[in-house]
Amino acid sequence: MIKRAWTYGMAALAFCYVACDSGRTAGSSMETENSIAVLVQLADGTPAARMDVIVRPESYLSGASELGSDSLFQLHFETDEQGRVVLTDVPSGSYVIEARSDVKNLKGFEKIAYVEADTTTPLTVEVSEPSKVSGHVGLPQLVRRSATVSVQGLDYQVPMDSNGYFEFESLPNGNVEIVAFVNEDDDDSITVYGKIEADVGTKSSKKLYLGDSAYVKKYFVFEDFENGVDRWTPAGSKNVEVSLESVTANRGRKGHVAHFICKLDSAENWDWGLIGLELGGYVDMSDLDSVTFWARTSVDSARISFSFDRFVNNDSVTSPDNAKSWKHFVANKEWTRYTVIPSQMEKADSSGGNYGWNAVKDSITKIGIFGAMGTEVWVDDIEVYGYGIFDPYAPVSKKSALKKSDPKKKD
């Protein structure tokens, strides 16, 4: 537990005597007597005029304040035409100074340790187009509440969804600490479940995983299709033709995505088509937390499915040896993120080889994505949570023997 009343109470006291000065606009003088001179500019050195400049304590954590008024924790200023501003009446302390303009879509920040007597503390803040950052929070199973995800020292917070996913639409670029915490109702405190340093604006910050050391679960991008679809194999029943290609993303996504079409050549209801990836051996995913992927279809309300397969031989697709576990989704024309959770897989019924998660979880040889008949399907960014990184294109250790599953046993 981290008690917040003392931390933020002291911050409030430090600011109460200057709260009445919030909103003050500095003139062109850059005198720094008991104040901080700030220059806000673009990457090319061009002054950034009329930018909001906000001063917050580095200890500030948005969403963790029980006082109910963020104004007690921040001072507001504005740059002049030369991008300059003098931050007056700032008490000694460690601060995050942010410059931003929602109209110009520019943001930037710097951290500073300031002493009141310091008269030589000029600071340059560079602003640029903000970035989107998303990730996943690992909470222990006993915690049923949603966590809040905030940026330390900045006023940005988002909730995680029911699957632990969160996304910041617009963060200033630079090195920040992102914190996931839960507000405790009984004792006016918070519990922090994860912290992570993120260099916003770089590729490494695009997907983050937050979890306390006791709960952290590994995460990696299984496939982003940026290197094409050559490793993936299209397949279908005798009445279905499946074509697969790599295409440029659209409708808000970037890079390359997989695109496949399942053409139905008969009126039989049992026909199917999919794209699959062999893992090169048996993979034990018993501790898997979830798999996520993005998909869209050419028509609304089209069914797609995600499957984990244990394929041992070619004798019978529906034998207990050749078992699968799958999850069905309804896809639409717009990109949607789907989450595959082991406990929510379809119940075992042996239909189409579906013997349930327990039958395949410790010996998975292949994953597959089934497409709706007669429609086009686009797939992107398959991500794995709760399982260590392995190379899906290289052989993994094979089991010497497989424990056969009982098809009568339900999940």
Q: Are residues 247 and 314 in the same domain?
A: yes
CATH of the domain at 22: 2.60.40.1120
Q: Are residues 167 and 301 in the same domain?
A: no
336: number of Cβ within 10 Å: 14
CATH of the domain at 150: 2.60.40.4130
Q: Which SS3 state, helix, strand or coil, does residue 99 take?
A: strand
Is residue 62 in some structural domain? Answer: yes
Whole-number CA gyration radius for the chain: 27
Domain count within the chain: 3
Q: Are residues 276 and 353 in the same domain?
A: yes
Q: Are residues 67 and 177 in the same domain?
A: no
Residue ending a domain, among 126, 147, 169, is 126
Sign of CA dihedral 15, 21, 22, 24: negative
pLDDT of residue 282: 85
Q: Are residues 239 and 262 in the same domain?
A: yes
At 397, list the tokens. Answer: 């250790």
Q: Name the pairing type of β-strands 290-297 and 336-340.
A: antiparallel
Q: Using an 8 Å Cβ cutoff, are 258 and 302 in contact? A: no
Residue ending a domain, among 216, 248, 276, is 216
Is residue 90 in some structural domain? Answer: yes
Q: Are residues 380 and 234 in the same domain?
A: yes
At 304, list the tokens. Answer: 């797609």
Is residue 405 in some structural domain? Answer: no
Is residue 58 in some structural domain? Answer: yes
Beta bridge partners of 167: 134
Q: Which SS3 state, helix, strand or coil, does residue 11 take?
A: helix
Q: Are residues 41 and 153 in the same domain?
A: no
At 376, list the tokens. Answer: 């086009």
For residue 21, give its domain range. 2-126
- Could you tell me which of 368, 382, 2 has the C-alpha nearest to residue 191? 2
Residue ending a domain, among 216, 244, 278, is 216
- Could you tell me which of 400, 322, 327, 328 has the C-alpha nearest to residue 364? 322
Tell me, what DSSP letter sits at residue 35? Answer: E
Q: Are residues 88 and 122 in the same domain?
A: yes
Is residue 393 in some structural domain? Answer: no
Is residue 19 in some structural domain? Answer: yes
Q: Please report which helix (H) or strand (E) contains residue 362, including its range.
A: none
Is residue 202 in some structural domain? Answer: yes
Q: Name the pairing type of β-strands 207-210 and 131-137.
A: parallel
Report d(CA 116, CA 37) in Å as an integer: 13
pLDDT of residue 52: 94
Q: Are residues 246 and 360 in the same domain?
A: yes
Q: Are residues 116 and 158 in the same domain?
A: no
CATH of the domain at 369: 2.60.120.260
Is residue 411 in some structural domain? Answer: no
pLDDT of residue 219: 67
Report d(CA 361, CA 193) in Å as an integer: 27
Report d(CA 203, CA 215) in Å as an integer: 25
**213, burial (CB in 10 Å: exposed 0-12, middle 13-18, buried 19+):** exposed
Q: Are residues 227 and 376 in the same domain?
A: yes
Exposure of 242 in the CB half-sphere (CA atoms within 13 A):
23
Q: Are residues 190 and 234 in the same domain?
A: no
Give per-residue burial for 294-324: e unless 16+ CB within 10 Å, then b: bbbbeeeebebbbbbbbbbeeeeeeebebbb
At 126, list the tokens. Answer: 């560079």
Q: Using an 8 Å Cβ cutoff, are 72 and 154 in contact? A: no
SS3 content of the chain, % helix, strand, coil (to 5): 10, 45, 50
Angle formed at CA 173 by CA 168 and CA 175, multiple of 5 degrees: 95
Listing DSSP states for 129-172 in one string gives: --EEEEEEE---TT--SPPEEEETTSS-EEE--TTSEEEEEEE-
Per-residue pLDDT of the chain (411 residues; tens, 9 = 90+): 333 332 333 333 333 333 333 333 333 344 445 678 999 999 999 999 999 999 988 888 888 854 333 444 567 889 999 999 998 877 888 889 999 999 999 999 999 988 876 666 679 999 999 999 988 887 765 566 788 999 999 999 999 887 778 899 999 999 999 998 888 766 567 888 888 888 998 876 666 777 644 444 566 788 999 989 999 999 877 777 888 999 998 887 888 999 999 876 555 555 678 899 988 888 888 888 889 899 999 999 999 999 999 877 654 455 567 888 999 999 999 999 898 999 899 998 866 678 899 989 988 999 999 987 778 999 999 988 777 655 555 444 433 333 333 333 444
Q: Which residues contact 114 (CB under 8 A, 6 or more apart)?
A: 36, 90, 92, 93, 94, 95, 121
